[in-house]
Amino acid sequence: MSADTPSPSKDDALSRAELEARVEELEETVANLEPTVDDGPKKMSIIATKGTLDMAYPPLILASTAAAFGYEVTVFHTFWGLDILHKEHSKNLQLSSVGNPNMPVPNAIAALPGMDKMTTKMMEKQIDDNDTATIEELLETSLDMGVEFQACQMTIDLMDYDEDDFHDGVTTGVGAATAVQDMAEADIQLLI
């Protein structure tokens, strides 16, 4: 020791010995720990609330991608999001021109009658030209990968839909409490 450093007192030596004993005890405890139990696959919960063509893609793409990575995925569809799961409506989803800042037409023109149909046709052509999967293809792929699509029962009743109106494999009769519980158990929660 240097002349500047005071020599340890008897109390310091005891506390150092106690500390070393405690460290040794902790190291032994850690060495004897059982491996952690695998909690199973990670979970993703998505709430889909919109039923326009451009808003149908995000929950379907995210759900199928997460399923491909081994996630258990649940997508709860409510209000206009039900149209994504509806057999007839999913074939005719429209693109809303008004209020969409990325549309190639100003809002004043987008508000004219027939503009939603025109912009929808433009988007459908772009989807086709780029060989992008359709809504039905993404839905079918996701179902094949084990994604659970849930249709909100309150919204089914509100919109006067029938359970037979939905694509095969869609879970109907699901309420908000089930969706909340699913979100509470999920590693990732998204609202689209």
User: 138-166 pLDDT, tens per residue?
Assistant: 999 999 999 999 999 999 999 999 999 99
The answer to the question of residue 166 being in a domain is yes
The answer to the question of residue 25 being in a domain is no
The answer to the question of residue 176 being in a domain is yes
Instruction: Classify burial at 93, counting beta carbons within 10 Å of its beta carbon; exposed 0-12, middle 13-18, buried 19 or more.
Output: buried
**Containing structural domain, residue 71:** 43-97+134-191
Q: What is the mean pLDDT of residues 31-57?
A: 86
The answer to the question of residue 102 being in a domain is no
Look at residue 62 in the predicted model and tell me its pLDDT. Answer: 97
The answer to the question of residue 157 being in a domain is yes
Give per-residue pLDDT as tens, 94-112: 887 776 666 666 666 766 7
Which residues have C-beta within 8 Å of that of residue 107, sequence separation ≥ 6? 98, 99
**Number of structural domains found in the chain:** 1
The answer to the question of residue 61 being in a domain is yes
The answer to the question of residue 155 being in a domain is yes
**Residue 76, domain CATH:** 3.40.1260.10
Measured distance CA(18)–CA(12) in Å, rounded = 10
Quick one: pLDDT band at residue 13, thresholds 50, 70, 90? low
